[in-house]
Amino acid sequence: MSGGSRTVRNRVAGDPVPGNPATGDGTAGEHAMVELRGVHKSFGSLHVLRGVDLTVEQGQVTVILGPSGSGKSTLLRTINHLEKVDRGSVRVGGRLLGYRQVGDRLHELSEREILRQRTQIGFVFQSFNLFPHLTVRQNLTEAPLSAQRRPRAEVEALATRLLERVGLADKAEAYPRTLSGGQQQRVAIARALALEPALVLFDEPTSALDPELVGEVLEVMKYLARSGTTMIVVTYEIGFAREVADTVVFMDAGLVVESGPPAQVLDAPRHERTRAFIGKVL
Ligand SMILES: Nc1ncnc2c1ncn2[C@@H]1O[C@H](COP(=O)(O)OP(=O)(O)OP(=O)(O)O)[C@@H](O)[C@H]1O
């Protein structure tokens, strides 16, 4: 879909063209939406990310592929500061995540400020992570009301639109445990969109689903992609990558081995490691 007509994220939510997700100052157009430079992350002696560079432009879909343990989830988690990087930088909408720059010095943001930044970035997990004690509708409205302090009428109307969009208008008053896995994941996607994020991260969103439920979740994600949502998706769904991705990134052992359009990375990979991986998952 490179060079396509996607210009507006989340038309689902019917909101205007986005500004800077971190500052809200309308400057996102001047920056890549996401920019990682030389990112390193270790857990004890395990060096998981070994100098990752990644750029994602606004409105683009990036699919990250790679063997188990190559660092894909960790990379995703650094993008919304669920993991703090040891070295290198993560910028979202041009702004350094987790820090405030004063002159040439960096000051770490407070937990509360980080939480506020994080509401600009939707995160869809493999295991849905819905609030079990809240109805579907309340799952969508909770964070916009309490973390973003937006007006209830606006948030309720948005929740209604989003549930219609993911085909679950009739489940608004149901509790998550009464839904199928595919339905729960569609609620989780709608919940991420209710924050009106500038960027949505997906970590293996279909891996926990029975095969017959995968399609309904991928359809919602394809719709979002067509609507101009900036998305970074960790998945083993090669068909989705081929159809929807602007860029496919292949990671191995904590490094980006190669990246490019799907036709290049999936059909004519330049590196042996990519070829071996693609050969196994196709
Ligand atoms: N919080 C943590 N503490 C310690 N080790 C961790 C932590 N998170 C991840 N790891 C380790 O880092 C490595 C990379 O994990 P990560 O989940 O990023 O890989 P992945 O490519 O997403 O793998 P998969 O496809 O299996 O989910 C693994 O060896 C994992 O055990």
Number of domains in the chain: 1
**Confidence bin at 280 (pLDDT 50/70/90):** confident
Ligand 1 center from residue 163 Cα (angstroms): 33
pLDDT at 4: 40
pLDDT in tens, 14-42: 333 333 333 333 344 478 999 999 999 99
Residue nearest to atom 29 of ligand 1 (CA): 69
112 vs 145, more confident:
145
Identify the CATH number of the domain in which residue 76 sits: 3.40.50.300
Which of 39, 49, 73 is the pocket-test mutation for ligand 1 (most atoms within 8 Å of CB)?
A: 73
Ligand 1 mean position to 229 CA, how many Å?
27
Residue located nearest, by CA, to atom 4 of ligand 1: 43
Indicate whether 271 belongs to any domain: yes
Tell the residue nearest (CA) to atom 2 of ligand 1: 43
pLDDT at 30: 72
Mean pLDDT throughout 53-62?
Answer: 96
Residue with the smallest CA separation from ligand 1 atom 10 is: 43
Q: Which residues line ligand 1 (CB under 6 A)?
A: 43, 46, 48, 66, 68-74
The pLDDT value given to residue 31: 84
Please name which of 90, 121, 122, 93 lies closest in space to residue 28, comparing C-alpha atoms. 93
Is-contact 37 96, C-beta < 8 A? no
Q: Could you tell me which residue, 95 or 254, shows the higher pLDDT? A: 254
The range of the structural domain enclosing residue 166 comes to 11-32+58-84+111-281
Which stretch of 87-96, 152-161, 198-207 has the lowest confidence by average pLDDT? 87-96
Q: Is residue 247 in a domain?
A: yes
Tell me: the pLDDT tens digits for 136-195? 999 999 999 998 899 999 999 999 999 999 999 999 999 999 999 999 999 999 999 999
On average, the pLDDT of the chain sits at: 88
Does residue 91 belong to any structural domain of this protein?
no
The predicted pLDDT at position 17 comes to: 32
Atom of ligand 1 nearest to the CA of 234: 22
What pLDDT sits at residue 1? 40
Residue 95: predicted pLDDT? 85
Q: Which residues share a beta bridge with 40?
A: 50, 87
Q: What is the pLDDT of residue 159?
A: 97
